[in-house]
Amino acid sequence: MTAKIIDGLALAKAMRTGFADRVGALARHGVTPGLAVLLVGEDPASAVYVGRKIKACSAVGIRSFAEHLPVSVGNAELLGRIVELNADPDMHGILVQLPLPPHIDMPRVLETISAEKDVDGFHLYNVGGLVTGSTVFSPCTPYGVVKLLEHEGIPVEGQNVVIVGASNIVGKPMALMLMARDATVSICHAKTRDLAQYTILADILVVAAGVPGLIVPQMVKQGAVVIDVGINRLPDGRITGDVDFEGVRRKAAAITPVPGGVGPMTVTMLLENTIKSAERRLALAS
């Protein structure tokens, strides 16, 4: 068997084309969706991600800006800036790029962002909403994975889903979103003993561990769907996922490549959430 390659870039492009209609409809009401991105410090990877987000916004007509704060910024100053943006009617989304420097109180930062503008889906209200089904915004990466599965017509209900990685950004919300769709979900993490005994049972294997080549063919069930969320830079500069792509593609039914799989969907769902936020505000105002 050779797996179908799930083309995240193509779906991301198609979805972004569709956003133009929604942005046009908002424009007819005098509304331009707006996204504020706060970047603290000098993390080079964060600067690249923020640059991509701003560029993607401008391509679909979202007004966005990145505000670069020095690594020495204090908690009070950062929280104060978020409070200002919460009150700014032109900003429908606020995103604070993670990771933050260690002296910053990250939970407080995330909870200060209005849940109504939390297009990252990291506010406690939105995190809790994943459990109860009352979330305003879903976190972008797992939301992008759900969209990829839907688009590929891959059923989730009743399937054995194994998630490798239990982060707040990907693994945990991914588990809740797939449980809400009636999958049977197992979460593995760095302390899991004998990872392979779990992964081999997966009908759908989602890997977000940040370990290049962690998943090898012997760990994958014949005919499984493999979603690789990993983005790792190798010493030679190449970007690679958490899955041995060349090996596993011979065993899986479908697999996402890195790059070109989940990555482009993450930014796309940020655009979706920002447009949705502007639409919600317009609906509430009318």
**How many whole angstroms separate alpha carbon 285 and alpha carbon 279?**
10
Q: Which region among 77-85, 96-104, 111-119, 235-243 touches ligand GUN (by CB under 6 A)?
A: 96-104
Nearest distance from C-beta of residue 207 to ligand GUN, angstroms = 16
> What DSSP state is assigned to residue 172?
H
Binding to ligand GUN in span 237-256, by CB under 6 A: none
Q: Which region among 93-101, 124-132, 195-203, 210-218 touches ligand GUN (by CB under 6 A)?
A: 93-101
**How many whole angstroms separate alpha carbon 18 and alpha carbon 72?**
41
Tokens 């943006």 map to which residue?
85
Q: Which is nearer to ligand GUN, 26 or 145 (CB)?
A: 145
Determine if 169 is a binding residue for ligand GUN (CB under 6 A).
yes
Determine if 97 is a binding residue for ligand GUN (CB under 6 A).
yes
For residue 26 the two structure tokens come to 């908002």
Which member of 7, 117, 118, 120 is catalytic? 120
Q: How many CB atoms lie within 10 A of CB 223?
A: 12
Residue 236 annotated among the catalytic residues of the structure: no
Residue 97 annotated among the catalytic residues of the structure: yes
Nearest distance from C-beta of residue 279 to ligand GUN, angstroms = 21
> What DSSP state is assigned to residue 101?
P
Going from the C-alpha of 114 to that of each of 13, 76, 91, 118, 160, the distances in angstroms are: 29, 17, 11, 6, 35
**How many whole angstroms separate alpha carbon 199 and alpha carbon 187?**
10
With contacts defined by CB under 6 A, how many residues of the chain interact with ligand GUN?
8
**How many whole angstroms separate alpha carbon 3 and alpha carbon 228?**
13
Determine if 211 is a binding residue for ligand GUN (CB under 6 A).
no
Residue 53 annotated among the catalytic residues of the structure: yes
Which member of 7, 53, 159, 242 is catalytic? 53
Tell me whether strands 63-69 and 34-40 are parallel, antiparallel or unpaired.
parallel
Binding to ligand GUN in span 143-162, by CB under 6 A: none
Determine if 273 is a binding residue for ligand GUN (CB under 6 A).
no
Nearest distance from C-beta of residue 120 to ligand GUN, angstroms = 5
Nearest distance from C-beta of residue 159 to ligand GUN, angstroms = 25
254-255, strands of its sheet edge to edge: 4-5, 254-255, 225-228, 204-207, 160-164, 184-188
Nearest distance from C-beta of residue 46 to ligand GUN, angstroms = 7
Among the listed residues 118, 120, 203, 272, the single contact to ligand GUN using CB under 6 A: 120
Nearest distance from C-beta of residue 252 to ligand GUN, angstroms = 25
Determine if 98 is a binding residue for ligand GUN (CB under 6 A).
yes
Question: 235: cis peptide before it, omega within 30°?
Answer: no
**How many whole angstroms separate alpha carbon 220 and alpha carbon 224?**
7
Q: Nearest to ligand GUN by Cβ — which residue? A: 98
Q: Where in the sequence numbering do the catalytic residues fall?
A: 53, 97, 120
> Which stretches of the chain bind ligand GUN, using CB under 6 A?
95-98, 120, 140-141, 169
